[in-house]
Amino acid sequence: MEWTIRQVVNELTSNPIENTVDTLKFGDENNKIKKIAICFMPTYEVIKQAIKQGVNLLICHEGVFFQHDDDQVVESEVGQKKWKLIQSSGIAIYRLHDAIHHEYQPDGIMEGLLHHLDWMDDVEEHKEIATIIQIPKRKLSDVIDYVKHKLNLSTVRYVGDLSMNCSRIAMLVGYRGGGLTAIPAFEVDQVDLVIYGEGPEWETPEYIRDANNQGNRIGAIILGHLESEESGMRYFAKRIEKRFPTIPVEFIATEQCIKWK
């Protein structure tokens, strides 16, 4: 069976989301699909690689032009060069952000991260923002080493005492590490540890600092935005392969650009 871009896009979401960024950014929705690529970040290099591989539909999670609300091309030389690459190639780009977070149950990005960490069987509860897991008691240093190994990370940032014991953990992907989302995991869900992508440094880390100075033993592992969410899109690519077995599907990884020396 041949699929058009519009037919595939319609299969990705079932309920319209108000003010969504999940739209076809480039391309003709009536074109027949030859090959699909999935990525987390539609970087200039990722787009070039997709074009080289014969992809005519790229499904990405984050925006093309360096901002969340990305309907407008950023007026910069870099943005214009990227725009010209896309237009000259004819590649279609669809952004899947809101639906995979809010419509998929559980959150599709969270599910992919948990699968990658082999923690799906340890899930206690999927909440709207966080997932609570319970693992055998381990030191924070051991949890950090495990996460780095499973996600192939050379470094992560952390808050807390490396010798503290962790068992009950709240997982928060992406930009969910702020105080309004992470602190309730400690106060309400009584977790020992939060693992999140990113958030304001003056919120959750400072809460943990004060809590520990008051005699508590809690901590955080800060993965980075890409590092916490790319596993979700990698897992999503497998779902697409199963849903559309007649269409070639590739996952294109995004190289980390924020590095530690």
Q: Is 97 annotated as a binding residue?
A: no
Residue partners of 180: CB distance under 8 A and separation at least 6: none
Q: Is 250 annotated as a binding residue?
A: no
Q: How far apart are CA 38 and CA 36, in angstroms?
A: 7
The pair phi, psi for residue 225, each rounded to 5°, is -65, -55
Q: Is 229 annotated as a binding residue?
A: yes
Cα 216 to chain centroid, rounded: 30
Q: How far apart are CA 97 and CA 247, in angstroms?
A: 22
Number of C-beta neighbours around residue 68 at 10 A: 9
CB distance 38 to 249 below 8 Å = yes
- Give me the residue label for tokens 């959750």: 204
Residue type, 139: K
Binding residues for a divalent metal cation: 61, 225, 229
Binding residues: 61, 225, 229
